Amino acid sequence: MLTMIGKRLMFAIPSLIGVVIVTFLLTRALPGDPAAYFAGPAATKEAVEQIRKKLGLDKPLIEQFFRYTNDLAHGDFGNSLTTGQPVAAEIRNRLPASAELTLLGLIVSVVIAIPLGVLAATRPGSWLDHLCRVTTTAGVSLPVFFTGLVLVYVFYFRLGWSPAPLGRLDVFTSAPPTVTGFYLIDTLIARDLEAFRSALSQLILPATTLAIFSLAPIARMTRASMLAVLASEFVRTARASGLSPTTVIVTYAFRNAMLPVITTLSMVFSFLLGANVLVEKVFAWPGIGSYAVEALISSDFAPVQGFVLTMAVMYVLLNLVIDILYGVIDPRVRLEG
């Protein structure tokens, strides 16, 4: 098993090298001149040149690239110009914020979508099936920022139930000492219930927004895969043998229907992690998606490269975990390169 994992990780190296090269070239190919941008509105030509020199952008591309890879090898992702902070530190601070939100959103989504999908599959054509179809279609066709804004409008602005959409904590609550970076866990470790409550109440609306959006792929995939499995021969055999419907569905059918669902889950998770920019914007969430987009808008190379690289590593690891999970769920699947 361990050698397999090692082998898989080895295979990931070429793709990571590819990612490093491609992001470097792509960010350089972006229109816009960071030196002109950061020299400020009142800069003269000389001022722009001075800034260019300071940023090392006057050097030939190949030299810039070697300097970049050398820094990378030393764990230095460079400095972001928009926020003025080292990229590695920023990603370290922001990734848990995004991950906590995405995970919670995904858990909420799974808790609703999988039972809904299973139920819809066991009674195709019934009102439950239609309900499943309607909710998932509605969820996926509403843009996330719209759902987010509606939730803010109703639960914060109109009803006043939810706290102000001001990021991860209430303004007057201080952040817990960082252990995992997940506030829900860190506040419990610090035994700060007030902060835990604040963190949780800040999370509910954005997590719900994400859940509504990710409901569709999970529920639809569960339903489709369950339908296929329920129509297969071994289920018929199980039914014919007089097993109770619960045993048939939960023990036999569901386990076999899990594989595509797990794949979808991993896709949805990695997609949401990087792509929930809009939710982050709506809820002033200090996450990684909004960070990358802001950097992109200002031609800030280092964070964009750091972001893409981090996401690439996450994908590789996630795929590995999924593959291992396959093996656990279905012993016939072997972990091979």
Partner 1 sequence: MKRRDFLKSVSGLAAGAALPAMPQVISSAYADARSETLLIVSEGGPNNLDIHGVGTNVPGYEVSWNCYDRLISHEMKTGPGGVPYYDRDKFKGELAEDFKIDDMSVTFKLKKNAKFHDGAPVTAKDVKWSLDRAVSVGGFPTFQMSAGSLTKPEQFVVIDDYTVRVDFLKKDKLTIPDLAVIVPCIVNSELVKKNASEKDPWGLEFTKQQTAGSGAYKVTKWTAGTEVIMERNEDWVGGPLPKIKRVIWRMVPQAGNRRALLERGDADISYELPNKDFQEMKANGKLNVVSLPFSNGIQYIGMNVTKPPFDNPKVRQAVAYALPYQKIMDAVMFGLANPMFGAAKDKATEVAWPQPHKYNTDMEKAKALLIEAGYASGFETTISFDLNFAGVNEPLCVLVQESLAQIGIKTTINKVPGANWRTELNKKEMPLFTNVFSGWLDYPEYFFYWCYHGNNSVFNTMSYKSAEMDKLIDGARTAAAAGDTATYDKDVKGFVDLAYTDIPRIPLYQPFVNVAMQKNISGYQYWFHRRLDYRAMAKG
Task: Using the CB atoms, write b or e for 125-154: b if 16+ within 10 Å.
Answer: eeeebeebeebbeebbeeebeebbbebbee
Q: Between 204 and 227, whose beta carbon lies closer to partner 1?
A: 204
Residues 124 and 239: their CA atoms lie apart, in Å, by 18
Task: Using the CB atoms, write b or e for 215-226: b if 16+ within 10 Å.
Answer: bbbbbbbbbbbb
Rounded to a whole number of angstroms, the minimum distance from the CB of residue 62 to partner 1 is: 23
Residues 187 and 179: their CA atoms lie apart, in Å, by 9
Amino acid letter, residue 210: L
Q: Between 33 and 322, whose beta carbon lies closer to partner 1?
A: 33
Rounded to a whole number of angstroms, the minimum distance from the CB of residue 234 to partner 1 is: 24
Q: Between 12 and 284, whose beta carbon lies closer to partner 1?
A: 284
**CA distances (Å), origin 73, targets 10, 59, 251:** 17, 20, 48
Q: Between 22 and 166, whose beta carbon lies closer to partner 1?
A: 166
Q: Between 152 and 273, whose beta carbon lies closer to partner 1?
A: 152
Rounded to a whole number of angstroms, the minimum distance from the CB of residue 161 to partner 1 is: 4
| Cβ atoms of residues 228 and 253 within 8 Å | no
Dihedral angle of Cα 324, 326, 332, 335, to the nearest 10 degrees: -30
Rounded to a whole number of angstroms, the minimum distance from the CB of residue 47 to partner 1 is: 5
Q: Between 126 and 137, whose beta carbon lies closer to partner 1?
A: 126
**CA distances (Å), origin 260, targets 236, 254, 286:** 21, 11, 32
Q: Between 197 and 239, whose beta carbon lies closer to partner 1?
A: 197
Q: Where are the alpha helices (DSSP H) in the chain?
A: 2-29, 34-38, 45-54, 61-73, 87-122, 127-141, 144-151, 183-189, 193-230, 233-240, 245-246, 255-275, 277-282, 288-297, 301-329
Rounded to a whole number of angstroms, the minimum distance from the CB of residue 205 to partner 1 is: 10
Q: Which residues bind partner 1 (CB under 8 A)?
A: 30-34, 36-45, 47-48, 50-51, 54-55, 80-85, 90, 93, 112, 115, 119, 149, 152-153, 155-157, 159-167, 170-173, 194, 197-198, 201, 204, 281-284, 286, 290-291, 294, 297-299
